[in-house]
Amino acid sequence: MNDVLTVRGLSVTVRETALVSDVDLTVGAGERVGLIGESGSGKSLTALSILGLLPEDVRAGGSVRLDGVDHELVGADERRMSRVRGRDIAMVFQEPMTALNPTMRIGDQIAETMLVHKTLSKPAARTAAADLLERVQLPAETLRAYPHQLSGGQRQRVVLALALANDPALLICDEPTTALDVTVQALVLDLIVRGVVDRSSALLFITHDLAVVATVCERVLVMYGGRVVEAGPVNEVFTRPRHRYTEGLLAASDLETTSRRLTTIPGNVPPAGRFPSGCVFRTRCAHATALCEETPAWSGSEAEGFACHHPAAQGSLEGVADA
Amino acid sequence: MILRLIERTGVFLVSLAVSSVLVFAFMAVLPGDPARVALGVNASDEAVAELRRQFGLDRPLPTQYFDWLGGLLHGDLGTSYVSKVAIGPQVFDRLQVTLWLVVAGMVIALVVAVPAGTVMAARHRKISGLALSAFSQVGVAVPAFLAGILLIVVFAVRLGWLPANGWTPPAQDPAMFLKQLILPALSLGLVQGAVLTRYVRSAVLEVLREDYLRTARAKGLRPFQALWRHGLRNAAVPVLTVLGLQLATLLIGAVVVERVFVIPGLGSLLLDGVSNRDLLLVQDVVMVLVIAVLLVNFIVDLLYVALDPRLRTAS
């Protein structure tokens, strides 16, 4: 199995402030990888730098390679990146209400994805748009509708349809269900998984919702303070976390706990650029010692490992509630 | 959609009716008797009363109003109290001249503002964008008549490329018509263009921040393509509002610019009417200007509906 996406030493900076540092990330063909973390952990910036759509004056460094694209994606010029976007990598954004052009019919917006890359002729793109809508379970009349005539869930399905239009090798979803009603979340997640499985596309799924990662992804990366702190298969990381942050995150979202009070991680996520040196989590970690002032090295393989000086014992969740 | 059109048409007709009452009432309360003005201070009261009867000024105001309005609806603007000439044909001739001027000015304003505003927005952090901003700032500060005088000094007096004033109907001599149109149209259009540029800039800046533009980029559109296909139509909505208001300003600007360039337009007719105390003429010209402004706003309303599908349901 060859890797679709290979990210090495990715960093994102705004002026002198580092927002994302040293991120390594690999997504295999057809693999579904989750990227989790609190807001401000650098998940979305990581996604946007893969796509080359960072805001002005935010810069990416390091290396991003995509299978089948013969050039480096970090720092590639607009001309080359625009050929990759929407054809090899597609993205579904968080906010479906504003992601579509309010003055253009849905059918035209979907067809444009194919027309801009000349993957299909105009009449064929129309037919394909109808077919794509059917696959996300929207009626054919939707082609002639405008975005304001659709609900949030329907719009997100349209965004998904246009992202999948060119059968991309990699689909990136950035919190695709966060803005949706709980009742339609399951449907949209199901359509995303089915969409990538049907095309054997790889999926990079960004969320802060652990339950969603557990249903959608096979492997997960945990981000905190712009760094990947732990990685591994979903059931491994979620049942036997090694990094103390992952441990806290799981305890905080454990709904089956018998304890009456809600478990939280003490303190707040520091503002961007104010993370401590060494281990980024040490200011909020109950296990931190003087040793944590040094950046912890990565233990284990790239696919499965963690960066912590005082990892949780293998196979235990004890002591979490007191942390 | 249909409901929305009926609603806008209703608003247009009601504002026409209300403004006709206002224009009439305003003229009616002005001091000074047109008959006395026409005959001079030495005329006998009998002669004045006789003339008032001829003009129909002795009738009750509502009757006078409906008489005037009925005439307007049939295209009959009445007869001047001063020159005793029918007003309708005069206004019609002059209106054509002013329309040429206003339309040419608007076209120049758009041709300047849309590209300049877009470039300013797209490069708002770069030198070229800032330079354009500064240039448009200067344009905003210059009134149209001053721009006209400056243009005459440079292009007519110094360089002698274009005539300083005058007017030739396009049917009579198209080349001369264009030559004489350029300077007055420029002095109207450049100033309005500078103002409009700033609105285009902020509308485009607004649109550049929209999520759907990022979606368009994620599809594989280049920045300029994304802006062109997805941004301009959305940015057009707020710009259109300003454009509608500007057309009204442009009509007023034309009144002054016609004086500077000695053009026989509606503006000079209005000013002549005022200085001759030709009240009915003034009333008619003002009403025609009001109708023009309301008509522009009505068209702007219809264009909103055409541009933005969200507005197609009645409010």
- Spans of all domains in chain A: 1-101+170-182+204-323
With contacts defined as CB-CB under 8 Å, which chain A residues touch B125? Answer: 56
A91–B211 CB contact, under 8 Å:
no
**8 A C-beta contact, residue A192 and residue A224:** no
Domain B87-312 has CATH 1.10.3720.10: yes
| pLDDT of B315 above 50 | no
Does any CB of chain B come closer than 8 Å to the CB of residue A94?
A: no
Q: Which three-class secondary structure state does DSSP give residue B164?
A: coil
pLDDT at A256: 61
B215 touches chain A (CB under 8 A): yes
Contact criterion met (CB < 8 Å) for A85 and B220: yes
**Could you read off the pLDDT of B221-234 as tens digits, one per residue?**
998 889 989 988 89
**A100 contact residues in B (CB cutoff 8 A):** 212, 215
**pLDDT mean across residues, chain B:** 84
B159, two tokens: 């360089």
CB contact under 8 A, B219 and A162: yes
Interface test with chain A among B214, B215, B237, by most A beta carbons within 10 Å: B215
**pLDDT higher than threshold 80 for residue B207:** yes
Look at residue A1 in the predicted model and tell me its pLDDT. Answer: 54
B256-286 residue pLDDT tens: 888 888 888 888 888 888 888 888 888 899 9
Report the pLDDT value the prediction gives residue A321, as an integer from 0 to 100: 41
Q: What is the pLDDT of residue A203?
A: 95
The fraction of chain B above a pLDDT of 70, given in percent, is 98
Determine contact: B206 vs chain A, CB below 8 A. no
Q: Which CATH architecture has domain A1-101+170-182+204-323?
A: 3-Layer(aba) Sandwich (3.40)
Above 60 in pLDDT, residue B70?
yes
Helices (H), B30-173: 34-39, 45-55, 61-73, 87-122, 127-141, 144-151
The answer to whether B220 contacts A116, with C-beta atoms less than 8 Å apart, is: yes
Judge: B218–A51 Cβ closer than 8 Å, yes or no: yes
List CB contacts (< 8 A) between A44 and chain B.
none
pLDDT in tens, B238-253: 898 888 888 888 887 8
Give the integer Cα–Cα distance in Å for B266 and B257: 11
- For residue B81, what are the CA distances in angstroms to A188, A285, B219, B279? 76, 94, 68, 8
B282, B27 in Cβ contact below 8 A?
yes
- Does position B186 have pLDDT exceeding 60, yes or no? yes
CA angle, A238 then A240 then A246, to 5°: 60
Residue B126's pLDDT band (boundaries 50, 70, 90)?
A: confident
More confidently predicted of B30 and B68: B68
Sign of dihedral through CA atoms B82, B88, B90, B95? positive
Cα B86 to Cα A253: distance, rounded to the nearest angstrom = 86
- Smallest Cα distance from B279 to chain A, Å: 48
- Per DSSP bridges, beta strands A299-300 and A219-224 are unpaired
pLDDT in tens, chain A (323 residues): 578 999 999 999 988 888 998 999 999 998 999 999 888 888 899 999 999 999 888 999 999 999 988 888 998 888 999 999 999 999 999 888 899 999 999 999 999 999 999 888 899 999 999 999 998 999 999 999 999 999 999 999 999 999 999 999 999 999 998 888 888 889 999 999 999 999 999 999 999 888 899 999 999 999 998 899 999 999 999 988 899 899 888 888 765 655 556 677 887 788 877 788 888 888 888 888 888 888 888 888 888 889 988 888 775 554 444 43
Q: Order of strands, edge to edge, in the sheet holding A58-66?
A: A17-28, A3-14, A58-66
**pLDDT computed for residue B221 by the predictor:** 93
Specify the pLDDT at position A319.
44
Residue A32 sits at φ, ψ, to 5 deg, of -115, 110
Interface mutation target, options B123, B125, B212, chain A, most CBs of A under 10 Å: B212
What distances in angstroms separate CA A165 from CA A127, A195, A216, one per listed residue?
A: 12, 10, 21
